[in-house]
Amino acid sequence: MKIEKAEAALSRHYDVVIVGAGIMGAILARRLAENKRRVLLLEAGNGAGLSYDNYSQFLENYYRASAKVPQSPYPENPDAPQPDELTIGLTPPGQEPAPGYFIQRGPLPYRSTYTRYAGGTTLHWLGTSLRMLPEDFRMQSLYGQAQDWPLAYESFSRYYEQAEWELGVSADVEDQSYHGQQFPPGYVYPMHGLPPSLVDQAFAEPLRGQFYELDGQRHPLDVIGTPAARNGIPNPRYNGGKGYQPVGAVGSRAIGHRCMGNTSCVPICPVQAKYNAMKTLVASKHDYVTMVTQCVASRLLLDPDNGRISGVEVKSYDRPNDPAHKVYIARGDIVALCAAPVENAKLMLASGVGNSSGLVGVGIMDHPELLTWGLTQQQVWPFRGPIATSGIEGLRWGDFRSRHASFRIEIGNEGWGWPTGSPGYDVQEFVGQNLWGKQLQRSLIERVTRQVRFGILVEQLPEAGNRVVIDPQYRDPLGNFRPVIHYDVGDYSRAGFAKAREVSNAIFQRCGIADHTTFFPDQPNFSYAGQPFNYQGAGHYMGGHRMGSDRNTSVVDANLCSWDHNNLYLVGCGSMTTSGTSNPTLTGAALSILAAERIHQALGNTQAIATGVSA
């Protein structure tokens, strides 16, 4: 990949124009370039992280931040604004907007965020890379919920394999072969599974061979290693015995070949042992991929004569704090939107294209997350290893899905860091009790070394009321629309929360863990059957341009091509038909690989339409 200035790069015609240089855009570009397709990548943010010195500055920002949230390392850029955990608040109609990028109409706030820099949200993701279960693709036919995907696990799994190579996933097939997940004979992941932490082991022993009974079905509670896009020990049996070479840090290849276990994966891995999309960007063929940064796509142009997208209007700015910009048109035979679900939907709505079903922006999902936490009897020494290395997966499936949501239980390795801000919170509490010196030290050791927490990711359906819309009165400094978001957690997921709480209680009891879960009434919450719950955002943007087999009930077809414009592709987690319970990015990456294949085929069939001079 090469980076060029807008003026030069946008004077040429490309095979494919891709909007967004996060993981989906990076994979799509790399794959197309391998097939000698000329690609233009438009990126709204800057490419600072591509230089190791600048990446180190991200680290400095993080160290200095008093509130360590996912956005802390990545400074706000008014020309390509991004949502931030610290400014997520509701704006009821008629009121002045709450600070921040999103206009949130509620009734509940959408609590997830993303990052607008080259590399996208993988700059601060966790790296959990589970596949969806075969039954997740068939929610309508099995459970009468939402819609079936136009794909089946069996035909889709080869794209998962390619995505696992691209991300460098560490996992063991023996662990992952549960509930219908099948792998070809001899398949192994690129790297061995990461070792379980002491926290994992505190659950693994008492839960081995145990079940939780629900509707007469027995759900295993075994602790299972979590597939992770972070460097572990390469498996020499990978790729028919050729092995796998871990990819180190961008701009400093000498480091990052092994995870160092320092538990800061979100929001930043100091050594880049965790995958980020900059690794894919720099690996893509120099001659075929041109990236322009600080170039915000603002509108898609439609050719009314043939219904095709004829170009992408972009706003190119020089300085993040200065709204001065120039407008250009990017042109290519095919346009692919990879700007993540909210931005993709916003761009489509701003352009008035691709919405014959009325479903653009509709049915955005997350995995609303229930946190529970407690103290073990023995010391388990959290804050070592990646943030999560294992989970309890047995409630991801079952007949109960016809009534309420399924969920997966992530076991955290960072004590009560997420729910309470530990260990700072513990210091504050003990000092408040007038504990000092050795007494304070002993109290901290006694508590912090025994802290455990679950992050329970609850399935969410593509509810019609959960949507992204635009409103001309809300614009950013470049004049682009700010997303207006309507969000709620429906009864299907709320009932899943109630069940998840019961299961967590049962597990804590079996493992001898004292529950310290606390309800915070001043934080976002809802009730179900009289019981109040706080919820977190998982960062798992999904839906908004769902795929399907009927143009009236979906936005894209099984090739991720818009039903309305045959040269427009919508790529990434926004095309997911339903959410399942797996962290979604591996699925999005697999969809991106599928899209690259289909776009390559489509270009092969439409050469006669190609116009202009290729880059």
Binding site for ligand SF4 (CB under 6 A): 230, 259-265, 269, 271, 273-274, 386
- Looking at beta carbons only, is 297 or 500 nearer to ligand FAD? 297
Closest CB 160 distance from ligand SF4, rounded Å: 21
Q: For residues 175 and 193, what is the distance between their CA atoms, to the nearest angstrom?
A: 9
Phi-psi domain of 358 (left: phi exceeds 0; alpha: psi -120 through 50; beta: other): left
Closest CB 544 distance from ligand SF4, rounded Å: 29
Distance set, CA 508 to CA 350, 458, 512, 514 (Å): 49, 19, 6, 7
Instruction: List the one residue from 539, 544, 548, 580 that touches ligand FAD (CB under 6 A).
Output: 539
Say which entry of ligand SF4, ligand FAD, none residue 265 contacts (CB below 5 to 8 A, set by partner kind): ligand SF4
Closest CB 612 distance from ligand FAD, rounded Å: 21
Closest CB 608 distance from ligand FAD, rounded Å: 29
- Looking at beta carbons only, is 261 or 323 nearer to ligand SF4? 261
Structure-token match 């993303």, residue found: 114
Contact string (CB under 6 A) for ligand FAD, positions 75-94, x = contact: -----x--------------
Say which entry of ligand SF4, ligand FAD, none residue 42 contacts (CB below 5 to 8 A, set by partner kind): ligand FAD
Q: Which tokens sit at 77?
A: 């850029």
Q: For residues 101 and 420, what is the distance between their CA atoms, to the nearest angstrom?
A: 26
Decide if residue 371 touches ligand FAD (CB under 6 A). no
Closest CB 540 distance from ligand FAD, rounded Å: 5
Q: For residues 498 and 161, what is the distance between their CA atoms, to the nearest angstrom?
A: 35
Question: Which range of residues in 149-157, 442-450, 519-527, 582-590 is near ligand FAD by CB under 6 A?
Answer: 582-590
Closest CB 246 distance from ligand SF4, rounded Å: 12
Contact string (CB under 6 A) for ligand FAD, positions 105-134, x = contact: -------xxx-xxx-xxx-xxxxx------
3-state helix, strand, coil split of the chain in percent (to 5) is 30, 20, 50
Structure-token match 């629900």, residue found: 214
Q: What is the CA radius of gyration of the chain?
A: 23
Closest alpha carbon to 43 in 162, 128, 160, 123: 123
Beta strand 39-42 pairing with 369-375: unpaired
Size of the site for ligand FAD (CB under 6 A): 44
- Looking at beta carbons only, is 245 or 527 nearer to ligand SF4? 245
Say which entry of ligand FAD, ligand SF4, none residue 273 contacts (CB below 5 to 8 A, set by partner kind): ligand SF4
- Looking at beta carbons only, is 266 or 289 nearer to ligand FAD? 266
Contacts of 320 (CB under 8 A, 6+ apart): 46, 75, 77, 78, 79, 80, 294
- Helix or strand holding residue 54 (H, E): helix 52-64
Contacts of 145 (CB under 8 A, 6+ apart): 139, 401, 402, 461, 492, 578
Q: Which tokens sit at 224?
A: 């299972």
Say which entry of ligand SF4, ligand FAD, none residue 584 contacts (CB below 5 to 8 A, set by partner kind): ligand FAD
Which residues of this protein are in contact with ligand FAD, per CB under 6 A?
Answer: 19-25, 42-45, 70, 80, 112-114, 116-118, 120-122, 124-128, 266, 296-297, 338-340, 343, 347, 539-540, 572-573, 583-586, 588
